[in-house]
Amino acid sequence: MRNVFYVFLLNCFICLVLTSCSSSSKYAVKDPISAYNLAQGYFDNQDYTQAAYWWGKAAEQGDAQAQYI
């Protein structure tokens, strides 16, 4: 499961680089699917605070699964 978490982090990093987002912004992940996947990675690694934060961001962006959680 640790590898899955690193894949999600890499996905978010690529998003940041390609969209030229500020690295200091906590709101840099603008794709709801990426935010949901990042939350799932945090959840799998038992960081529930970060998981809840990113599921909230995914829900705000319209991700149905995150809205259900």
pLDDT confidence tier of residue 61, bands split at 50, 70 and 90: confident
Angle (CA) 57-31-27 rounded to 5° is: 50
Cβ of 66: how many Cβ atoms within 10 Å? 21
Residue 63 pLDDT: 82
Model pLDDT for residues 25-60, shown as the tens digit of each residue: 455 677 888 888 889 999 998 999 999 998 898 899
What residues does each domain of the chain span?
Answer: 2-18+28-68
| CA distance linking residue 24 with residue 45, whole number of Å | 23
The first and second tokens of residue 47, run together, are 């960081």
pTM of the entire predicted model: 0.58
Three-state secondary structure call for residue 64: helix
